Amino acid sequence: MSQNIKNVAVIGAGAMGQGIALSVALADLKVTLIDVKQEFIEKGINNIKRMLDSRIKRGQLTENQVQTYLGSINGQTNYQNLENTDFVIEAALEKIEVKLKIFQELDNIIKPEAILASNTSALSISQIACATKRKDKVIGMHFFNPAHIMKLVEVIPGYHTSHQTIATTQSLSSLLGKTAVVVKECPGFLVNRLLFPYMNEAIYALTEGLASINQIDETALQFGLPMGPFTLMDMTGLDICLDVNEFLYNEYGLRFETAKLLKLMVEHGFLGQKSKAGFYLHDNQPNTPKQVNPDFIELLASLKTGNKPCVKFDFNRVILPMFNEAIYAYQEGVVELADIDIAMNYGCGLKRGILSLSTDNGLAWCLEQMGNYHKLYGERFRPSWLLKKMVHAGILNLTKNANSANLSLVK
């Protein structure tokens, strides 16, 4: 049974807090938006107003509706008047000491039945929960940027999180118009855990000179991704990509070994859109065709890649690590099989679903390809044991019909 939610507090009025507060207001709930300085609150609320105004221009909202939504958001720089708060969504800095302090303080102030959620990208929900005396009521609620537009919320129960807290977080997510996918706490949760081996492998293929940036990006579009891996990395920021990939490498080991070219790009200050140059140039000239960063070619030449395997570029080499990681996550009980494609669709716009690789080519083909690449490139392609087990058990693909059979295989 889920709890009734009427009043929500959002902690942090930055990029994510603004989008989350807007989603909450649009769901006709009351929002208290909290940040450390009045100027941050004002900036946050001004940005929310701008986002609402753009909906007036598009004919989606009236001036009166916008005033009502804005009236439901109250900004403040303290924890006063939170006695009626039913649910808190924390979207402050990604620093464990900041989050522990916020959770500890809120725990002493808000009513005992209220739920405390964190929008952390990578920190441990179980650890954050231990800063409170309500560990069963602490949960991860991972929105995607921009939070008022992206439909996915990864709902991440920690070690102590209760079923009721999960149910309430799921029902709040749907009130906000989001699709909630429950992902058990693990490094990278689901979407980032699946995206990074794919982006990393695209860099390896590029480093080997098997295909150009444009070719790889275009093949990704043909596969059903909304943008290619190099466009996505430039948008995200190569420094952030490096940090996240190194984090995943430290947690999961060689499967995530970071491509040297990424480190080199960051060392040379090629960070993507924010530094005006990454894999592509970003000179902000409207209507100019995308231009590959010429300096990256020099960096590439400086990398001694040794004897390259004599193979042609095949996009499967780049996308299979995503597929394999999805099976690893399923193998670990992190996610339901049926939720994987939903998460990848709503979280990163992958229209055809990653499990379709098994439907199109057969599960045995996926294993065979992984095995071939494993021989060529090593641990990044070690197939999950569940993939082998399913193939040995005669499972042909991961369509809906096969789901129930596969489920019993993992238990």
Ligand X SMILES: NC(=O)c1ccc[n+]([C@@H]2O[C@H](COP(=O)([O-])OP(=O)(O)OC[C@H]3O[C@@H](n4cnc5c(N)ncnc54)[C@H](O)[C@@H]3O)[C@@H](O)[C@H]2O)c1
Active site residues: 154
Residues 6+ apart with CB under 8 A from 311: 210, 376
Place of tokens 């990163």: 348
89 to 31, 119, 136, 150, 189: CA distances (angstroms) = 10, 7, 15, 17, 18
Whichever of 40 and 373 has its CB closer to ligand X, that residue is: 40
Whichever of 188 and 197 has its CB closer to ligand X, that residue is: 188
Q: Does residue 349 interact with ligand X by CB under 6 A?
A: no
Whichever of 150 and 398 has its CB closer to ligand X, that residue is: 150
> For ligand X, which residue of 17, 278, 321, 383 counts as binding (CB under 6 A)?
17
Q: Which of residues 93-122 bind ligand X (CB under 6 A)?
A: 93-94, 98, 102, 119-121
Q: Does residue 149 interact with ligand X by CB under 6 A?
A: no
216 to 2, 174, 303, 326: CA distances (angstroms) = 45, 36, 20, 21
CB of 149 to ligand X, least distance (A): 12
Which phi and psi (to 5°) does residue 154 adopt?
-85, 120
Rounded to the nearest 10°, the torsion over CA 223, 227, 230, 234 is: -160
Residue 406, SS3?
A: helix
Contact mark string toward ligand X, 40..79, x via CB under 6 A = x---------------------------------------
> For ligand X, which residue of 7, 23, 24, 35 counts as binding (CB under 6 A)?
35
Q: DSSP readout, 23-90?
A: HHHHTT-EEEEE-SSHHHHHHHHHHHHHHHHHHHHTTSS-HHHHHHHHHTEEEESS-TT-TT--EEEE
Residues 6+ apart with CB under 8 A from 78: 34
Report how many residues bind ligand X under the rule CB under 6 A.
22
Q: Does residue 192 interact with ligand X by CB under 6 A?
A: no
393 to 275, 335, 387: CA distances (angstroms) = 50, 21, 10
Q: Does residue 11 interact with ligand X by CB under 6 A?
A: yes
Q: Which of residues 194-223 bind ligand X (CB under 6 A)?
A: none
Q: Does residue 29 interact with ligand X by CB under 6 A?
A: no
Range in contact with ligand X (rule: CB under 6 A) among 1-9, 13-21, 108-116, 392-400: 13-21
Q: Does residue 12 interact with ligand X by CB under 6 A?
A: yes
The closest residue (CB) to ligand X is: 14
> For ligand X, which residue of 27, 91, 166, 220 counts as binding (CB under 6 A)?
91
Q: Does residue 14 interact with ligand X by CB under 6 A?
A: yes
CB of 150 to ligand X, least distance (A): 9
**Which of the 8 DSSP states describes residue 258?**
P
| Residue 392, burial from CB neighbour count under 10 angstroms (0-12, 13-18, 19+) | exposed
Whichever of 348 and 398 has its CB closer to ligand X, that residue is: 348
Rounded to the nearest 10°, the torsion over CA 117, 118, 123, 127 is: -40
Whichever of 92 and 395 has its CB closer to ligand X, that residue is: 92
3-state helix, strand, coil in the chain (%, to 5): 55, 10, 35
CB of 200 to ligand X, least distance (A): 19
CB of 392 to ligand X, least distance (A): 38
Quick check: 324 and 196 in contact, CB under 8 A?
no
Q: Which of residues 119-148 bind ligand X (CB under 6 A)?
A: 119-121, 143, 145
Farthest CA pair distance, the chain = 67
Q: Which residues bind ligand X (CB under 6 A)?
A: 11-17, 34-36, 40, 91-94, 98, 102, 119-121, 143, 145
